[in-house]
Amino acid sequence: MFWVARVVMLVAGILAIIIALRPPGLITGGIGASFFFPLWLGIWWERTTRAGALAGMVGGFVAFVVFQLGGLVPLFTAALVGVAASLVVTVVVSLLTAPAIDEVRQLVKQIRA
């Protein structure tokens, strides 16, 4: 179990170094790609699930990092690819998992009201 924690810490450290080398674009692009649609859908689409939101955050960030660090597209375009991936992953995983419990749906309705 400890080796898993060490590997995760190593990967997190390497990602932190990479992000620190090109701060503004990577940070804002990665945040946008990770959080925009899971948060927005979580408030406005009752069918969004926890698993869908988490998968959307990870999927959007991974798509952003792959496209940006792979040099496949410019920074702005990588952020758009990440946001689009986040939307698709959030919706698909939310539809494939069980809906949120009624308490959560009522909370979302209260937030919107």
In a domain, 5, yes or no: no
Read off the pLDDT band of 103 (50, 70, 90): confident
pLDDT in tens, 21-76: 766 666 777 888 888 899 899 888 888 998 999 999 999 999 988 888 887 777 67
Cβ contacts of 37-40, under 8 Å, gap ≥ 24: 37/83, 37/86, 37/87, 37/90, 38/86, 38/90
Residue 11 placed within a domain: no
Which residues constitute the domain of residue 31?
24-112
**Two structure tokens written together for 16:** 């932190």
Whether 18 is covered by a domain: the verdict is: no
Q: In this structure, are residues 94 and 52 in contact, taking their beta carbons and an 8 Å threshold?
A: yes
Residue 15 inside a domain? The answer is no
Please name the residues in contact with 94: beta carbons below 8 A apart, sequence gap of 6 or more. 41, 45, 47, 48, 49, 51, 52, 53
Whether 90 is in a domain gets the answer: yes
Dist. CA 17–CA 29, nearest whole Å: 16
How much is the pLDDT for 55? 94
Domain count within the chain:
1
**CB-based contact 53:38 (threshold 8 Å):** yes
Residues in the chain: 113
Give the per-residue pLDDT at 22.
65
Q: According to the model, what pLDDT value does residue 93 have? A: 96
Q: Model-level pTM greater than 0.85?
A: no
